[in-house]
Structure 1
């Protein structure tokens, strides 16, 4: 790669078409762009609590950087699956330079954001995000199937503030050194980058499954009955939904027990609310990614036409909402035994907030027809995070939580109305006809 080629700017040709006109890449970049837009716009919606506001905005900014890394990983996998890339002059170099430029731009924007909010104490979170992002890229290059675990990068974002708090005083220097070492290893890997016959399989499977893979639960009759109970809502996402529904409360209780034994504060219920909302969004993400499978679902026995299939799908969404509600009620009650701060009012607010977020995302997700539309539901996750974290901040400062519960009631009614109305928008004008 010559310096003259870099300075000529020829490597920018085709970048718009390559990065923005591809469904997969545009979806990830769309999520990142939404995070950036919300990070710029949410300050006008949040209360004047500087510390809380910066924490919420850093989550959005980290989502922007992480989404950029996932989009780059997707392009690297696509490049590895392209057989003719080696015979087109400077094609590989152009894609690599575009990816590098995109990553550097996202880091510059994030650094400017920290400076604008005088939040350089959050720099460790940005370095952790970069470390996880580069690590994801490295393992994706080493094994194409590792890209199926891209969702792990997203679900780790809420944990970054607590991981950063565990770092020693020299944590920033250590993270920066680790990022530089990983970047060097990544560049060395890219310099030997070639065609990979497995990358195309990952790419095609990603278009169908949203780049997510988990093992099957066919050996368990109980889990099979549970999956039948959620059919056809889980038809597109597969056993992953069951695994998430079972794993989320278990992991939450383990984290709560660990925090209790170590005598540290860890908002495990706040994380459970976020993951529940993400699970609802992923249900419709997989439905949109596998839009061709709608016809396969339609021809299955048991549905009385298109209307019957829509009714069955909506019914199982209500079942899913009930499962998430009961799971949150039980989990929050058990966590309250370890944390005296979780009173009846806090418990009620957490349960209601979880129902509001999940119902709204399921409703709006049912109305979505494109990847960009479903990506926008991440905005609801951010709003819900701000709502819950603001209320919990009120509790920590000795405020009254019941006024937040009072606001939960009309929001709950609005979310349930959204879910009810979604019945008339689901699969409207799609492949299926009445």
Structure 2
């Protein structure tokens, strides 16, 4: 991607920031008499759509696959599992051993580990494992090959031969029967891609990992609901199954974004390729265990999330997608990216001018919807690690935790608007819990 494209992103980010600042300051400058009525009306509309999205999960049955037809081994497709690994000495051996324990015809399964310029013991471990597992394929890239995870996956694509690709992170853990159940779901729904629900394996490690587990449950509730209401859903990087032909038609993985999964999700939507959300079985992964790692990870997610809208915004408002999909994308874009900036600036101005905040009804509504999704997602029956003591206090704590987005989003938007940016892929450290 050209430097001009980067500048275009920077300009769009600046304009987005400017609009958010303008919206934040208008009520404090003009003090409209009926502004509170306006924000309450908007909050009511936000609540209606948000509750509609959440309510779609009521119809979701954890045992829905029990009535699906069992697929015989000879009808299962050829599958390639791809793992981009850089400095994963703590988890790579466990991953490989578990992948070869999965229930799937061995003649239809290929496992590719991309050693993406590791400087730790990962290459030595992989060399030893390749002697133990004949079907294990090691692909090596140099540390300066470029493109990050996307570059590693694109490089590996030319070695693959399967009809489907399963993308995993090095810390992923799957149940042994995941793959047959996954393809039963694929065939039942005619999906072009499927995202497994993400579940935190180290949920009880500390306060942060517990909150991240609740956050992932909330995300899955919104994901499933959005898919049911508007046909909009997103990939989450780890545990994403993609039809290879569909992926190639969409242009493979974008090496000019820091979140290849979010970028690909929009391109799949624009190409009218359906992404299914499978609640169970989940893909289990490690949550980060300290504040520094959390904010580093969230900044990358926020930046990638904004990049995709800046890159494909014009196409999203074309005739390529349905009206309800445009509404859904706009709704969640405002709540996820605009509201944190508007609310923070509104709060700062309120304190400085000793006035009441103007947008508090919308913020409270958004937090309430998040709380309902946290409660429902964390308490409903599911496979994988679950929270043991979900109560009102834990829900309130989770909402306080979620408020970190009201700092991350404004900070990332300012950086994207004001400072020249090179694409940097920062990996998450996996400890091997």
TM-score in same-fold range (> 0.5) = no
Question: TM (normalized to structure 1)?
Answer: 0.26
Q: Which of the pair is proportionally richer in helix?
A: 1
Q: Which of the pair is proportionally richer in strand?
A: 2
Q: Select the structure with the greater relative contact order (CA < 8 A; seq sep ≥ 6).
A: 2
